[in-house]
Amino acid sequence: MTTYPVEQLSRWDKEYVWHPFTQMQEYRREEPLIIERGEGSFLIDVRGNRYLDGISSLWVNVHGHNHPRLNLALKNQLDHIAHSTLLGLANVPSIKLAKKLVAITPPGLNKVFYSDAGATAVEIAIKIAFQYWQQYEGGRYKTKTKFVSLGEAYHGDTIGSVSVGGMDLFHAMYKPLLFHGYQIPAPFCYRCSFGQTAGSCRQECLTVAEQVISTHTAKIAALIIEPLVQGAAGMIVQPPGYLRRLREICTRHNVLLICDEVAVGFGRTGTLFASEQEGVHPDLMCVAKGLTGGYLPLAATLTTDKVFDAFLGDHAEAKTFFHGHTYTGNPLGCAVALESIRLMEEGDLINSTREKAAVLARELERFNELEHVGEIRRQGMMIGIELVKNRTTKEPYPREMNIGHQVVLHARRNGLIIRPLDNVIVLMPILAMSLEELKQVVDITYASIKAVTE
């Protein structure tokens, strides 16, 4: 328990801490929720109040908080060494984890480059893809310097990852800083940019994608996509076959495919990695978030031997990938990640997650009864509930109403922590959460939406 008075911590928080993705003027009007510890599916604040963690502490927690085996893995590694650089040296956990990642990711991804967050993993993928074409076959493809990304894409907050993003709310301010590429429409069936309805369209979004890529193939290094679900865009679920078709288009036009599995990987969509569901083998893949089970910041960018080999040469040729982070391949993070993967395998977590996802699907059906629920989007254990002012016209709530935040505050008062994406209420429960706890998450969310919107 904290030795400081709660009121003092609250004052210090408001005075000294700048919270991410948070309007601090509004935040400072409210009483901060200060988390002190965690137990399983629950977060516990400094006053002893318990809250179900309905967003897995921002989509990262897999096995629950304060897990004894993950704690032990961390403590055991700490008895050996906390950190040593990977620049020209190696360490035991990073070697073992790299071998394991190669074994469990889609075939062909045989090389692992470590970093510390999803955005840095994407930044690395972008730089690798760019440099690959500069060096491949003596540089005959040096014009391939541009990237294709989806509308409403979110790949992180570094300048490179923002450059391949497409969310004006987050990214418009920084446009003067960004490099320019090509954007293709997101397959957002609920708000189709072509005016079509799901199931009856002619996949115009894929037609546009092929037109863009075929027209500019000499300039395009890679296409980047979150497989199956665009998370921060509001849980936009891609129609079946969409990812597979994009892979085929990229292959046909000699364009690398980068799969950003930061949010969708490690069981979130019902398979270990989302790209598995359509048999897609990317040229580069980014993983983070659930990699350590929600314990430590660790990320990895995986790629193929073909891409890796373009970086091999004599020292004087300067083909080296000149990129690195201070804590690249941190032994503590790698040790916990290895234990987290063992837990997933031994507990058959993927199959149990599928069963829970089926229960969630049934529990969510009643949300359609609510007058201001426009659409429920779900893939595995990733759920987005879009709230609308008018269901018939799909008119959104105006931003000044901040309707999503009102729902979040109501849920918090009833023992649940969730977070909105504007007018979309996101549920991303801990994968190991029990069925009883999952039903509580759904019940509180339902009651909160009903209370705030009706």
Is 260:122 a contact under the CB 8 Å cutoff?
yes
The residue behind tokens 């923002």 is 162
Is 189:203 a contact under the CB 8 Å cutoff?
no
Distance CA 420, CA 169 (A): 14
Distance CA 295, CA 289 (A): 9
Q: Which amino acid is at 363?
A: E
Predicted local distance difference test score (pLDDT) of residue 1: 60
Kindly report the pTM of this predicted structure.
0.97
Is 266:272 a contact under the CB 8 Å cutoff?
yes
Q: In angstroms, how far is CA 16 from the centroid of its own chain?
A: 28
Predicted local distance difference test score (pLDDT) of residue 293: 98
Distance CA 23, CA 18 (A): 9
Q: In angstroms, how far is CA 101 from the centroid of its own chain?
A: 18
Ranges under pLDDT 50 in the chain: none
Is 416:52 a contact under the CB 8 Å cutoff?
yes
Predicted local distance difference test score (pLDDT) of residue 251: 98
- List strands edge to edge, sheet with 299-303: 111-115, 299-303, 284-287, 256-260, 220-225, 146-150, 182-184
Tokens of 274: 């989302």
Instruction: Indicate the angle between helix axes 242-252 and 204-215, nearest 10 degrees.
Output: 20
Which of 254, 285, 227, 238 shows the shortest CA–CA distance to 107?
A: 285
In the chain, what are the domain boundaries?
A: 33-66+348-453, 72-346
Is 26:8 a contact under the CB 8 Å cutoff?
no
Distance CA 214, CA 106 (A): 26
Predicted local distance difference test score (pLDDT) of residue 3: 76
Q: What's the CATH number of domain 33-66+348-453, 3.90.1150.10, 3.40.50.880, 1.20.5.510, 3.40.1500.10?
A: 3.90.1150.10
Per-residue pLDDT tens over the stretch 268-306: 999 999 999 999 999 999 999 999 999 999 999 999 999
CATH class of the domain defined by 72-346: alpha beta
Vertex 382: Cα angle to 66 and 40 (nearest 5): 15
Distance CA 328, CA 155 (A): 20
Predicted local distance difference test score (pLDDT) of residue 202: 74
φ, ψ of residue 316 to 5 degrees: the values are -70, -20
